Chains A and B, each alone.
Chain A
Amino acid sequence: DGGITQSPKYLFRKEGQNVTLSCEQNLNHDAMYWYRQDPGQGLRLIYYSQIVNDFQKGDIAEGYSVSREKKESFPLTVTSAQKNPTAFYLCASSARDRGFLAGGEQFFGPGTRLTVL
């Protein structure tokens, strides 16, 4: 079945540690996204990537880093520079082509809950 997987489902981090959240898709989508969701709030964009080896900062990129070495994978690293990393993280992908509105629908993974101890 085609879809997006995120791992782990729950992640605990000690202060000062970097952690990496995994996101994999087999939908053959070009675009991938990382969002952060805090309690009772909407989704805020951290990073997005429209194509392999290219990615752009979103609204709240500080303290995060990403890579896009393969079309299927878009891992997110939460660095020690992120002051308040406890949140729910959602990865998404879409078939959107750069410069062309290809329906726009984003497909989401099940999310990762990150807690800083």
Chain B
Amino acid sequence: AQTVTQSQPEMSVQEAETVTLSCTYDTSENNYYLFWYKQPPSRQMILVIRQEAYKQQNATENRFSVNFQKAAKSFSLKISDSQLGDTAMYFCAFDGRNNNDMRFGAGTRLTVKP
């Protein structure tokens, strides 16, 4: 079964600085999707960014970008110009062709400090 590991339970960053959240996963599949979800204090899960494994180019959404290393099974999230509204739990997730469900990591609690 696929597993997703987020090794940083908590992180903090100063406003306007850059922070990188780590995620590794384990799979024998070649085609799959990876996601980063954000869960702010409201607890509403929000999709931040999505990466398709067959695409070489790293996904980017405004201030959010990923570093996808397929061979290393690594999928880190970089947040540039951090804002106070970025304070949230961030979950890495894996969805493979052979799955019937999505696998989530344990999450990283990010605090952006003014």
Contacts and interface: CB of A to CB of B under 8 A. Distances in A.
Interface in B37-85: 42-45, 47, 50
Interface string A30-50: 000100000011110100101
A43 to B, nearest CB: 5
Given A105-B50, A111-B43, A45 B33 contact: no
B75 to A, nearest CB: 14
A108 B45 contact: yes
| Chain B interface helix/strand/loop/mixed | loop
Interface bin, chain B? 20 to 34
Contacts of A40: 9, 107, 109
Contacts, number: 52
Interface string B85-97: 0000001000111
A8 interface: no
A104 B104 contact: no
Contact of A41 (B95, B101, B102, B106): B106
A114 interface: no
A105 B50 CA distance: 8
B101 A33 contact: yes
Given A56-B100, A101-B96, 4 more contacts: A96-B95, A104-B95, A106-B102, A108-B45
